[in-house]
Structure 1
Amino acid sequence: MSEEELAFRCKREDMNARRVLYERYGGALMAICLRYTGDRDTAEDVLHDGFLHIFESIKQFTYQGSGSLKAWLSRVMVNEALGFLRKRNAQVQQEVLLDEIPDVPDTDDNSLDKIPQAVLMQMIRELPEGYRTVFNLYVFEDKSHKEISSILGITERTSSSQFYRAKSLLIKKINEYRKKESQ
């Protein structure tokens, strides 16, 4: 079933099409939820709520060519995850003690190729919630600090600071991983 036909049938509340939509895109959408929430149980809750929202609002989706359905589903899921984080009212307020932030240079891109993607994604999930949220928006959603500040209701400076701290903590985790792997 084509993406366009799948969207059309979901708009008509076809249960088989909804099942196909879930099976086809559920994994990718779960990955988005995990990136934002940091743990599987919470991600599953957000995914569930996100699919409810998708099925309620799919009538507003307009097919715009190959990939447009997945892009729309991803936007809905990112918004669902951000809404969940706002409700928990814990985002971006967390502070990490300054001595926990290493003063190390950025790692070169080639060294990241040696770290399995699953390990790197786990490191991102382990970041404090506020840092993880800003990091995800900046890196994966390609948002500017100005856009992030608007989305999260924080200043651009706070967004930039949170991103720097997230990146610093990731560098520390990467260096610890490399040290452990080389032993």
Structure 2
Amino acid sequence: MGTLTGDIERTLVEQARNGDRTAMKQIYDCYSRYLAATCSRYIPNEGDLRDVLQDSFVKIFSSLDKFDYRGEGSLKAWMRQITVNEALKLIRKRKRSDTVEYKWDLPDKEEEEEPDVGKVPPEAIQRMIQALPEGYRTVLNLYVFEQKSHKEIAELMGISESTSASQLHRARAILSRQIRDYMKRMEATL
């Protein structure tokens, strides 16, 4: 399943609000893969991803009375935001107990141009993003996929705007290097 049409979506939301488990299952079946993919951008560990996804659906179904239907796609967007927030909650929780410093071999100077990512399979890029340190990965996802500003990211993550900008810059530098390395390896096999 993909996205529900407006009338069906609205009907299922109303039924789910009234405790209809069949409607809840239909909503879950329709959106769980999409929300899992969204969550995987933040949480690369499959066990943690399942936990966050479960917590997200619990929150979604227990908060349906707060959902305001605004047209087709509004349910999907609302559920995505809850899922991202649940992923960020886990990341913040870990951050409080995680004191590991990441040392990445960053280039001394910025590369002239970014590599052509169109030549790299999306799965490979996803793996590269998942391999980034958690802070870099989270900032990159919030900035690129959720289109948050550095100010919004700073508020969500409890960091400064300059830290957000720095982590985004470093994430992009690491990804650029990894993409170039990937392309060199692929060219060498031809």
Matched, 1:21 2:27: yes
Structure 2 unaligned blocks of 5 or more: none
Corresponding residue of 1:76: 82
Moved more, 87-96 or 8-17: 87-96
Matched, 1:132 2:137: yes
Matched, 1:107 2:102: no
Matched, 1:180 2:180: no
Corresponding residue of 1:39: 45
- CA RMSD between the two structures: 1.8
The amino acid across from 2:81 in the alignment is R
Matched, 1:161 2:178: no
Change (3 A) 1:145 1:165: same
Matched, 1:170 2:175: yes
Q: Any runs of at least 4 consecutive aligned residues in structure 1 with deviations exceeding 2 A, and if so which? A: 90-98, 102-106
Q: 2:128 aligns with which of 123, 126, 146?
A: 123
Alpha-carbon separation, structure 2, partners of 1:17 and 1:122: 34
Matched, 1:7 2:13: yes
The amino acid across from 1:121 in the alignment is Q
Corresponding residue of 2:153: 148
Shift in Å, 1:52: 0.8
Corresponding residue of 2:55: 49
Structure 1 unaligned blocks of 5 or more: none
The amino acid across from 2:35 in the alignment is L
Shift in Å, 1:14: 0.7
Alpha-carbon separation, structure 1, partners of 2:55 and 2:80: 13
Shift in Å, 1:90: 5.7
Q: Which deviations, in whole Å up to 9, do the C-alpha atoms of 1:54-110 show, x marking residues without a partner?
A: 111111101110100000000110111001111112699764436x112423325xx
Aligned 8 A contact 1:94 1:129 in 2? no
Alpha-carbon separation, structure 2, partners of 1:31 and 1:147: 22
Aligned 8 A contact 1:54 1:73 in 2? yes
The amino acid across from 1:56 in the alignment is S
